[in-house]
């Protein structure tokens, strides 16, 4: 296992890839994140073994590993209750069912990128970034549709969904400061929060619609 990790580190250094986030400006961090088709993860590959060796509290580690599947849970709830969402915005067509299927798949893609292959080169990483962009598109567009068509009837639920999306965005921004500080536990907690808050807000909104 350690030999594989060392090989991965060497490969990423040979590719000109570094993890000195403390030396990056916010603009450089953003540009790094927007380089979608890299096969490297935006995390020091040695962190996976360090996390296993105790650098991250076990409960935080469990949350981190499980957090990807909050997307899948949201997708399942969305598919089961897509008729409720259609009625809520009956005056406007929105592709709830395709996005429900997408969310289920995203959970598995994100798990592969963020957990299984986090310490090595893999096509799961660009696939995960593309999925993340689709997820942002869904979250923003669905919130806009709901705010324009169902706010008066489902105000509380929509606000929970909106607040969850805001918290997810804040956690994602904060995780880059944890990378710069080389805070493995802080990064794991922030990245898990990025996965958890928006899907949880979506689930609560859907389940409280009547």
Buried b (16+ CB within 10 A) or exposed e, 89-121: beeeebebeebbebbbebbbbbbbbbbebbbbb
Q: Is the pLDDT of residue 40 over 60?
A: yes
**Predicted confidence band at 184 (pLDDT cuts at 50, 70, 90)?**
very high
Note whether 36 and 130 are within 8 A (CB): yes
**Predicted confidence band at 10 (pLDDT cuts at 50, 70, 90)?**
very low
pLDDT of residue 180: 85
Q: Is the pLDDT of residue 6 over 70?
A: no
Note whether 60 and 185 are within 8 A (CB): yes
Structure confidence by residue, pLDDT tens digits, 54-83:
999 999 999 999 999 999 999 999 999 999
Q: In three state form, how does the secondary structure of the chain look? A: CHHHHHHHHHHHHHCCCCCCHHHCCHHHHHHHHHCCCCCCCCCCCCHHHHHHHHHCCHHHHHHHHHHCHHHHHHHHHHHHCHHHHHHHCCCCCCCHHHHHHHHHHHHHHHHHHHHHCCCCCCCHHHHHHHHHHHHHHHHHHHHHHHHHHCCCCCHHHHHHHHHHHHHHHHHHHHHHHHHHCCCHHHHHHHHHHHHHHHHHHHHHHHHHCC
The larger pLDDT score, comparing residue 163 to residue 28, is at 163
Cα 43 to Cα 156: distance, rounded to the nearest angstrom: 37
For the ranges 29-33, 119-123, 156-160, which has the lowest average pLDDT?
A: 29-33
Q: Is the pLDDT of residue 25 over 70?
A: no
pLDDT of residue 14: 37
Cα 16 to Cα 35: distance, rounded to the nearest angstrom: 14
> Rounded mean pLDDT of the chain?
88
Residues 7-32, mean pLDDT to the nearest whole number: 55
């Amino acid at each position: 296992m350690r030999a594989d990790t060392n090989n991965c580190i060497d490969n990423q250094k040979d590719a000109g890839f570094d993890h000195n986030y403390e030396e990056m400006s916010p603009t450089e961090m953003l540009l790094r994140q927007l380089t979608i088709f890299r096969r490297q993860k935006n995390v020091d590959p040695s962190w996976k073994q360090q996390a296993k060796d105790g650098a991250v509290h076990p409960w935080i580690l469990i949350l981190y590993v499980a957090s990807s599947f909050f997307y899948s849970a949201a997708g399942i709830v969305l598919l089961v209750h897509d008729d409720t969402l259609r009625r809520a915005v009956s005056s406007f067509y929105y592709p709830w069912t395709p996005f429900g299927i997408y969310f289920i798949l995203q959970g598995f893609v994100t798990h592969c990128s963020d957990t299984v292959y986090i310490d090595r080169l893999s096509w799961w990483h660009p696939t995960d970034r593309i999925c993340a962009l689709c997820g942002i598109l869904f979250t923003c567009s669905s919130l806009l549709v709901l705010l324009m068509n169902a706010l008066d009837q489902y105000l509380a639920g929509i606000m929970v969904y909106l607040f969850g999306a805001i918290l997810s965005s804040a956690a994602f921004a904060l995780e880059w400061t944890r990378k710069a500080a080389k805070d493995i536990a802080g990064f794991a907690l922030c990245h898990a929060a990025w996965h958890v808050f928006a899907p949880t807000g979506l689930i609560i909104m859907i389940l409280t619609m009547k």
